[in-house]
Amino acid sequence: MQWDRVVAFVESAILAAKASGFDRILVIGASSWAKNFNGRDVVGELRKYELGLDEMLSRYPGASVLCPYAATQVTSHMMVQAFATHPAIRIQSATIPGLLDQSARQ
């Protein structure tokens, strides 16, 4: 996974939606790329992606990205990684702040 290429792809989708006249844009997607790291630094790569995504999204205040997962797809290990690499996590009706800012400074 090349995090910067994924961020560029999401940005191109936002730009295409804006060019079509949309002011509010929701990009929804979930991927299984993290399971293909085979022992590599998944959290480090996710952190780079999330920080890059947040920086890009700061230029498009009407755009949001949501990655939904079914509870059966999320292991406890994935949940810890999510808390360490996402700015916020929504579990059922509760939004929980992630640890992205704290982990990015380390």
pTM value > 0.85: no
Could you tell me if 80 and 87 are in contact, meaning their C-beta atoms sit under 8 angstroms apart? Answer: no
pLDDT in tens, 55-89: 899 999 999 988 776 667 667 777 777 667 777 77
Strand ranges in 20-100 using DSSP code E only, listed in sequence order: 25-28, 63-66, 88-91, 94-97
With tokens 């399971």, the residue in question is 35
Could you state, in order of their start, the residue ranges of all structural domains in the chain?
A: 3-104
- The rounded percent of the chain whose pLDDT value lies above 70 is 66
- The count of other CB atoms within 10 Å of the CB of residue 104 is 15
* Residue 94's pLDDT band (cuts 50, 70, 90): confident
What's the CA gap between 48 and 50, in Å, rounded?
Answer: 6
